[in-house]
Amino acid sequence: MTRPFRFGVNMLTPAPGDAWRAKCREAEELGYDVVLVPDHLGMPSPFPSLVAAAGATRRARVGTFVLNCAFWNPVLLAREVATTAALTGDRLEVGLGTGYVRDEFDRAGVEWGTAGSRVDHLRRTVEELDRILGTEDVSGRPPLLIGGNGDRMLRIAAEHADIAAFTGARASADRPGRLDPLDADELDDRVAVYRRFAADRCVPAELNLLLQLVAVTDDRAAAARPWLERVPGITEKDVLESPLVLIGTAEEAADQLIARRERYGFTYFTVLEPHYEAFAPVIAELRARGETAP
């Protein structure tokens, strides 16, 4: 059975209370199913922002996209999760990742360690959340999203996550703290690896992809140009064929998402805050086609 589409917006910009609540309400009115907050220095603090978002909306779920596990003691994180779930009416989804910006670790005084040690800490975090939130004292663990694309992260997602989120990018070798996009074939490979690890699951996970660029336009080439400046060596053709990019009219963009669902299995797409208004006509188009949940 094909899942209906879901859409989330990752809110990146801090705002005073009234302005924060207003943009969360607007996101819900535009058709977003989930209001999300990242875990980067200089951006909104995740849990209080989500409590405010839930108070300003009626049906939208709220979630972290994604917590940098290195910033969190797993036991104390379980307390934050349980409290936030209760205060949001159990509308919380918890997204976890390892963190990838070295400068943020340095500024926070958190040991950078190795890629392996960061994955180890994420696994311990998942296990502690399952252990603590599975007791009779709390209402249970909220749905868990795990984001990454390395083999170990995909295996953990296959074992534990309700939502497997594919970053669609890798840490840049020559641009510290930045990510280089995967092309369509590389993303095919990552999804195939995940599916091998998840072959024995009784209930398939939802698959998520973060869209890095959204432009609803009839001039696809012009909309692709900003990426040519941001990513060294990339061509216009690369941008327009990237699964991380959505460029075209609302009808064309809807067709592109349906094609990505058929090719990769993605049914939950997240956009960044700067694109959430531009993406709204695509949500409306898919709703008109009956492709979204009632």
Q: Compute CA 130 distance to the chain's CA centroid, rounded to the nearest angstrom.
A: 21
CA distance 133 to 195: 27
Residue 227: the pLDDT is 85
Which residues on neighbouring strands pair with residue 209, listed in sequence order? 166, 269
**C-alpha radius of gyration, the chain, whole number:** 18
Token pair for 67: 């917590």
CA distances from 266 to 14, 118, 177, 209, 220 (A): 29, 26, 26, 7, 23
CA distance 105 to 115: 13
- What's the total number of domains in the chain? 1
Residue 175: the pLDDT is 64
CA distances from 116 to 10, 100, 113 (A): 27, 12, 8
pLDDT in tens, the chain (294 residues): 689 999 999 999 999 999 999 999 999 999 999 999 999 999 999 999 999 999 999 999 999 999 999 999 999 999 999 999 999 999 999 999 999 999 999 999 999 999 999 999 999 999 999 999 987 566 789 999 999 999 999 999 999 999 999 988 877 666 666 678 899 999 999 999 999 999 999 999 999 999 999 999 999 999 999 888 887 788 999 999 999 999 999 999 999 999 999 999 999 999 999 999 999 999 999 999 999 988
Residue 176: the pLDDT is 66
| 226 domain residue, yes or no | no
CA distance 125 to 204: 22
| 257 domain residue, yes or no | yes
Residue 2: the pLDDT is 86
Residue type, 155: R
| 220 domain residue, yes or no | no
| 45 domain residue, yes or no | yes
| 1 domain residue, yes or no | no
What is the domain range of residue 177? 6-214+243-288
CB 266 within 8 A of CB 208: yes
CB 142 within 8 A of CB 85: yes
CATH (domain of 252): 3.20.20.30
CA distance 247 to 266: 17
Residue 255: the pLDDT is 98
DSSP state of 113: -
**CA-based nearest residue to 135, from 205, 69, 79, 71:** 79
Residue 173: the pLDDT is 67
| 235 domain residue, yes or no | no
| 51 domain residue, yes or no | yes
| 178 domain residue, yes or no | yes
- Identify the helix (H) or strand (E) that includes residue 135: none
